[in-house]
Amino acid sequence: MLNFVFQNSQMGVNTIKQLLGIVENEDFKNHQESQFNEYKETHCAAQKVLNENGQDEKGISPLDKIKHI
């Protein structure tokens, strides 16, 4: 279950990072930056807990990334 959180937060980080490069509206960009920080926090926390419990995090495969574009 925790790896599922890791993968979903990874998708959020990656997607919002791409959006930040194209968003022009400053209010929307600020909101996206806030969301990016929350996803990044969750992603790092999930990775830390997985590693502390002797688990290797399994990120999203390149094929799965392409399927979500």
- Please say if the pLDDT value at position 68 is more than 90: no
Reported as a single tens digit per residue, the pLDDT across 38-63 is 999 999 999 999 999 888 777 766 55
Model's pTM, two decimal places? 0.79
Is residue 28 within 8 Å of 65, Cβ to Cβ? no
Amino acid identity, residue 1?
M
Reported as a single tens digit per residue, the pLDDT across 4-44 is 999 999 999 999 999 999 999 999 999 999 999 999 999 99
Is residue 50 within 8 Å of 7, Cβ to Cβ? no
